[in-house]
Chain A
Amino acid sequence: MLDNIQRTTTARPRTGLLFLAVVVGHILLISSQVQSRSGVPVLEGVTFGAFARLQEGTAGVIRSVRNVWGSYIYLRGVRAENADLRGRVAELEIRLQEQRALAERSSRLQSLLDLKPFVSAPTLAADVIAGYVNPGILTVTIDRGRDDGVMPDMAVISSAGVVGRVIGPVAAHAARVQLLIDHNGPAAAAAITERTRAGGMVVGKEGDPPLRMDFVSNVSDVKAGDVVVTSGADGIYPRGFRVGWVDKAERGDGLSLAITVRPAMDFRALEEVLVVLRPARAAMPEGSAEPGGPAR
């Protein structure tokens, strides 16, 4: 009995000390990352690389069950045809958006002599194999990686609009995509309103709608319903892709308007996406990146 009491009283401070040591270790770990965020943590790279295999496995099992059910039991053959048609429609919608952006640019710039050819960037179709593992950080995992030419900071789009960007580390066969609506360490996109070419930066925020457009001058003409498209000035997202619609535009506290944006993309139903296989380049000042810049 006495021995038991003695053991309890010596074990308690030891437990407390261990807890303190673990907490201090965490604080050091977090501090090191906050101070120097240039390098990718080894732990993150190794865990992501290894766990991507498991995610691929679980996604594969689910896909197989779905395929067996959908292709053989539920509707023989119809599902495959439907998936093929959906893929083609998605691709055509992407092309349509590109064409729309191109036509709009061409009409505005017909008078300019320095017209340069618009080159369509190659894209790579990818399946979403895992959603976000942590409800606080909105990232998804896709089944394409380094071996397919995917690199960090490549833009990820879909037929509906901009999805997000690839964030490092990229595994050989999988990559992580930070969604545009992520508000913790936001995946910002340089954007303009289609009607008045008012430029700004679209970032994720908490609440509904999940996007806001910052740095748009108070004197700009922006109103609810305006279509917001990428400007290409950030060097990541190709220009002319739909981001969403202005939900509300009010006079802000400082020099900028307070604009909320409703995304064009339905982030609750992400299944197939396209990775734009164009490495990110350094951001350029608005108007100097390509012909038809937003600030002309």
Chain B
Amino acid sequence: MKAAGVLLALVVALALQTTLSGLTLTGARLVNLVVVAVVYVALMYGPVTGMLAGTAGGLAQDALAGGIVGIGSLSKTIVGFLAGLLGAQFIVAQPFPRLVMFISATVLHEVCYQGLFALIEIRPLRLSYQPVLTQAVINGIVGLTAFFVVERLPGLLQRRRARRGRY
């Protein structure tokens, strides 16, 4: 059940990312939904599941995007593992720590991703800070929204149904 949920989250993230970039190429660069899904899974289920989600999501994203398969996957594996490890060590149940986690994970992912490209192409690491930070903040907002929807929505619906049943 857990594996199916994680796989579903990754497939939905990939499908949304490709659909979004099909609609607006500029807008799609501002968010990386696969990173959001990996961090979400890591915070929910721990480092091993986060790491495996990062590997699976990254491999699929790399294979679909072309180029060298494994760079995005390795970056996401590291991010998934560390996010899960930190999530297990500290209490990451409030919105602010979660936001910090999503932002840091996105920045770490970009550093790993661009760093690996720089290593392979033997060139200095060039990181454009503004797009990375913008993506990090947007990923954070999307991640918090995902947590809110998954955690609060069923309760809200149940309460509304109960209130309706009373009348």
Residues of A at under 8 Å CB distance from B? 15, 18-19, 22-23, 26-27, 29-30, 33-34, 41, 43-44, 47-48, 51, 54-55, 58-59, 62, 128-137, 139-141, 167, 176, 178, 184-185, 206-207, 267-270
Contacts and interface: CB of A to CB of B under 8 A. Distances in A.
Contacts of A33: 68-70
B153 interface: no
Nearest to B55: A22
Nearest to A138: B25
Contacts of B81: 19
Given A19-B47, A58-B15, A62-B22, A134 B65 contact: yes
A27 B21 CA distance: 29
A57 B91 CA distance: 41
A48 B63 contact: yes
B51 A184 contact: no
Nearest to B47: A15
A18 B47 CA distance: 10
Contact of B135 (A23, A47, A135): A135
B30 to A, nearest CB: 8
30 contacts: A22-B77, A23-B77, A30-B68, A34-B68, A44-B63, A44-B69, A47-B60, A47-B63, A48-B63, A54-B15, A55-B15, A55-B18, A55-B19, A62-B22, A128-B22, A131-B21, A131-B23, A131-B24, A131-B28, A132-B21, A132-B65, A134-B67, A134-B72, A137-B66, A140-B22, A185-B67, A206-B128, A268-B24, A268-B25, A270-B25
B18 A178 contact: no
B70 A131 contact: no
Contacts of B68: 30, 33-34, 185
Contacts of A30: 68-71, 74, 116, 120
A253 to B, nearest CB: 15
Nearest to A179: B25
Interface string B1-30: 000000000000011011111111110110
Interface residues of B, number: 47
B64 interface: yes
Contacts of B51: 18-19, 22
Nearest to B11: A54
A267 B48 CA distance: 39
Contact of B18 (A26, A58, A137): A58
Nearest to B71: A30
A135 B67 contact: no
A177 to B, nearest CB: 10
Contacts of B18: 51, 55, 58, 130-131, 133, 141
A34 B70 CA distance: 11
A134 B20 contact: no
B74 A23 contact: yes
Interface string B58-87: 011111111111111110011001000000
B21 A184 contact: no
Contact of A184 (B22, B32, B74, B117): B117
Contacts of A136: 65, 72, 113-114, 117
A207 B19 contact: no
B48 A18 contact: yes
A133 B57 CA distance: 11
Contact of B66 (A15, A29, A44, A128): A44
Contact of B48 (A15, A29, A58, A176): A15
A133 B71 contact: no
Contacts of B128: 206-207
Contacts of B113: 136
B162 to A, nearest CB: 35
A54 B12 CA distance: 11
Given A19-B47, A130-B18, A136-B113, A43 B26 contact: no
